[in-house]
Structure 1
């Protein structure tokens, strides 16, 4: 090793030469996912220009050199290039391994990720990858000797390099403009694979939008919402907010493996065509509770106005948000009573980093026996199926499917092991839901309290389909595995039998996170000027409509 370092110390390069060599490495190696994607796109065309395809890495190299010409001077050259290589190697690993694209949404999700979740992505494969593609090249950069001429000489050399890169860019643009315009217009997702420039661009946009714009004045959508019970019974609704559960793996929705063996006989209604607002928690959770919908959702606006739980609380209901998800409520629960489950290992369900979701049942049980309000909403935020450490989401004695994948570098597990592990998380979620239903049913039977439960996941998950893992892809080209989520409804039969029968009739109809706002208000019997009956798919089944006359509801998906 000493001989290698000594040899490198004898290598002498100019600043321009080091910039060129580093840009070649970033372009041809660390941008392999981008080059691979664009090659697939171009060669799939009925007729394509081979020379256009060959021009892409040259164009990207010239563009990289052009950018670095303005940033790399004398003593800052090495630190800047080393940072660029290290950062690009992390992005390279994430994209190659999981198919992650670092767009604006992914930056937001990354910033709002807690430490335990972040460390779940670290594993032996990731370390080796980072060492080989990031650390070793960085050591090469750090140990070469840079030679400098006079300031004027340096400036002239830089102008020549800059002019050369501009000339190449200009020439390629003239010759292949129509090709670049056509491919770019029809494959906008390709830009997200440009390493590290897509990340830098998204980060700048995120910082500008979240830290440089002045905060909006908080808006009250309704200052006087009310609750009107249809009867004299107390009412309790439990909203279970799932994490990373995809609809395709629920046997209630037709999946061949019995992942819902416990809830299938408890009278639940599973909606089979539910679309998420986003592909990451940071977007989907605040979006589904917001009056905004997917098409016009903007976090800055959403956090500056009342959401569904705010209105329910203001109407007079008791609202509790109990979380076993360290990612927090993304601002939704800021103005209601909240409890974060402690991961202290003194609890047999916890290990100092995570707790199994059955802890939520314990907390729910305590709440149910101490409630004083006539109307109560309890939100239970699960850790659910959060990856890549799926195996840590269920106790070993609750494992249903085997062999499973007991590691975080899931790409090194067989597809059978990976799917079994994920299915175990769904089966465990099913167990938790069955226990919640049991608690609510007992309360209803013993005390004639009107009880109901709604379960909905924030987004889905990719399990290696088309080489993509986890979630968070830009919504425009995210697969259904990441955007189709489960939504399950249960109500005690004493008060909800007719409603349940009716809901079963419409459970095949498409709905989305856009409907959750109005579903919640209606379930809690909140009267508000912002409630939109047409946006509530349950509305048809809560107005005395008989099952015999049940038909598909007309649902508005474009509420502002």
Structure 2
């Protein structure tokens, strides 16, 4: 290594030469994912020109030279190029290894990720990859000697280089514009694979939206919601917010492996045609609790108005959010009571960074034993099936399917090992849900309290299908594994609001996260002007008395009418 460094130190380059070599490396190595996907899109055309295909790397190289040529000049040349290479190598690793696209959603997810989650992606393979494609090339850039021409002469040569690149882009556009336009229209997602510029653009937009736009005034959607029930029994709903669970891996939905052997015996209704609002927690969680729909969802707007838990809390319910997901409620639980599971190693269910989801059972039991109001909503936010360290999501004595993958570089495990590991997380989630149902059943039997459970995952997960792993792809071209999610509902036999037989008959009807807002209001019997009956999938199975209660005017409305 010392000999290589000594040799490199003897190399003397102009800034333009170093720029060209670095841009060539960015184009032909770190942008391999983009070039491969574009080449695949081009070669699938019925008739394509070989010259058009060959123009692709030339066009990309010219564009990168223009961008880097404007940013990198004289003494800032090395710092800019090294920063670009290091960032690009990290993106290159994520794209090549997991199929990740660093668009706006992924940037948001990355920035909002906690330290423990970030380090779960660090492994020997990642370090070697980063060293080979990022550190070593950067070290070479740092070591070579740069020779500077007089300022204006060097500026003139840089202008010539950028001008030549611009002419190249224009010529390629002149001869092949229609070809690029056709491929681009049919493969809009491919621009997301250009490294690192899609991430730079997304990062700029994220910073602008979160730190430079003035905050919106908080909007109160309803000042006087109320809970209307026709019996004197207390009511408790536990909403379990799942993490990274995909519907395809639930045996309740037809999966061949017994991943739901516990809840399958407890009379849960599985809604098998459920879709998520996003492909990452940062989008899906605030979206599903928002009055906004997926098509018009904007986090700034959603954060600046009441969400479902706010409405339920204002209606008079006691709301508690218990998180085993590193406090990651994404702003939804800001105005209600929260409790974070302590990951201290003194808890046998925790390792200092994460806890198994059974750790949620103790605080739940304590809350159920100390109900202070007639109506209670408890949200349990699971760590669920969060990857890539799936093996850390279940205890070793709960390994149902073997052999499993006891490592974070999941792409280096066999398909059988990877799928078994993920399926173990689903089976463990099922065990936890079963224990929650048992607690609710005991409460209903002993205390004559009406209880129910609603389980919904935030998004799904890819397990190597078509070379894609994890989640977070742009929704427009995300595979179904990342958007098709499970939703389960259970209620004690004594409740009278819903006909479970009716719900079972509707279990295959298509629903989405857009329905969660109204479903929660319906389960909690909240009367509010922001409730949309057309978006409540449970309304068809609700008793006529329950529907009449919610649609009756509240005493406050009667007083106003008088």
SS of the counterpart of 1:20? Answer: helix
Post-superposition shift, 1:543?
2.7
TM-score (norm 1): 0.96
1:348 maps onto 2:348 in alignment: yes
User: CA offsets, 1:470-507, max 9 Å, x none?
Assistant: 00000000000000000000000111596211100100
Cross-structure match for 1:138? 138
CA deviations 1:77-102 (Å, max 9, x no partner) are 01110111111110001000000000
Counterpart of 1:495 in 2: which secondary structure? coil
Q: How does 1:130-169 map to 2 (within 5 A)?
A: 130-169=130-169
**SS, match of residue 52 in structure 2:** helix
The residue number in structure 2 matching 1:395 is 395
Runs of 4+, deviation exceeding 6 Å? none
Q: Is the 8 A contact 2:288 2:513 kept in 1?
A: yes
Matched residue SS, 2:320 = strand
**Alignment size in residue pairs:** 546
Partner SS for 1:319: strand
Q: C-alpha displacement at 1:185, in angstroms? A: 1.1
Q: C-alpha distance in 1, partners of 2:312/2:280?
A: 25
Helix, strand or coil: the match of 2:430? helix
1:324 aligns with 2:293: no
Distance 2:40 2:362 in 1: 51
Taking the TM superposition and a 5 Å limit, the aligned residue runs for 1:102-117 are 102-117=102-117
CA distance in 2, matches of 1:230, 1:184: 59
Does the 8 A contact of 1:276 with 1:284 survive in 2? yes
Verify the 8 A CA contact 2:496 2:543 in the aligned structure 1.
no
Report the Cα distance in structure 1 between the residues aligned to 2:56 and 2:196, rounded to whole angstroms. 16
Structure 2 Cα separation of the partners of residues 411 and 68 of structure 1 = 33
In the TM superposition, what is the alpha-carbon distance from 1:3 to its structure 2 partner? 2.1
Alignment check: 8 A CA contact 2:279 2:482 kept: yes
Flag structure 2 segments of 5+ consecutive residues without an equivalent.
546-562
Question: Given that residues 497 and 543 in structure 2 are in contact (C-alpha distance below 8 angstroms), is that contact kept between their aligned partners in structure 1?
Answer: no
Contact 2:387 2:470 (C-alpha < 8 Å) held by counterparts: yes
Q: Does 1:223 align with 2:223?
A: yes
Normalized against structure 2, the TM-score is what?
A: 0.96
**What is the aligned-residue RMSD (CA, Å)?**
1.1
Q: Whole-Å Cα distance in 2 between the matches of residues 206 and 298 of structure 1? A: 12
The 1:381/1:330 distance shift into structure 2, 3 A limit, reads same
Distance 2:66 2:327 in 1: 39
Partner of residue 558, structure 2: none
Once residues 496 and 73 of structure 2 are traced to their aligned partners in structure 1, the CA distance between those partners, rounded to angstroms, is: 72
Q: In 1, Cα distance between the equivalents of 2:397 and 2:354?
A: 17
Question: What pairs with 1:113-512 in structure 2 (closer than 5 Å)?
Answer: 113-326=113-326, 328-496=328-496, 499-512=499-512
Structure 1 SS opposite 2:75: helix
2:321 and 2:337 in contact (8 A); partners too: yes
In the other structure, the counterpart of 2:536 is: 536
Q: Which residue of 2 aligns with 1:516?
A: 516
CA contact (8 A) 1:288 1:516 kept: yes
SS where residue 241 of structure 1 aligns? strand
Cα distance in 2 for residues equivalent to 1:62 and 1:230? 72
Gaps of 5+ in 1: 546-560
Change in CA separation of 1:85 and 1:327 when aligned onto 2, cut-off 3 Å: farther
Hey, what's the Cα distance between the residues in 1 that align with 2:471 and 2:127?
22
Partner residue of 1:551?
A: none
Contact kept in structure 2, 1:113 and 1:327, CA below 8 Å: no
Given that 1:112 and 1:327 are in contact with CA atoms closer than 8 Å, whether structure 2 keeps it comes out as no
Give CA-to-partner distance per residue, 1:167-197, whole Å, 9 cap, x none: 1011001010001111111111000000001
Q: Distance in 1 between matches of 2:445 and 2:245?
A: 31
Give the distance between the partners of 2:382 and 2:135, measured in 1 at CA.
37
